[in-house]
Amino acid sequence: MILKVGDKAPHFSSKDIHGKNFESQSIIEKKVLVLYFYPKNNTAICTAQACSFRDSYQDFQNLGADVIGVSSDDVASHQEFANKFKLPFLLLSDESQEIKKKYGVSSHFFGFLSNRITFVIDDDGIIQMIFDSVLGKNHISKALQKVKELINIKNNKT
């Protein structure tokens, strides 16, 4: 299944860095969500991307949005990665690749690594942006710009 802008974001469940169950219903349709898929913890581009999201995290929070990172790394790897780089946002383990499949995130690079894709989902649960680029740092500015647009649209309606 390939998702596109305007589609309803699929719900999912996963384990967070503490091994606790996370249900997407706790965020999707409640607030703006930046959901980003990345290939692997502790690789150069993925680390730079995560640290860029970390450095801009307060900007997202100030706009009422949250950030979640997803990769197929296990819970222990996520915990070590989050602690090492002081990541304030949620990382989810998708070892079964169920979330990746629901969001249509394909594997490339001989089927070993996932694409690097960011989804911005509005507070109605509708996908408003899909950004696919191997350049990890570009995801943050694109997502932040889209979140600002969504907030401006919402504020102009009230």
Residues labelled as active-site residues? 46
Choose among 124, 32, 31, 22: nearest CA to 75: 22
14/23 Cα distance (integer angstroms): 7
Distance between CA 39 and CA 113 in Å, rounded?
5
Spatial distance between the Cα atoms of 73 and 76, rounded to a whole number of angstroms: 8
With residue 19 as reference, give the H or E element that holds it: none
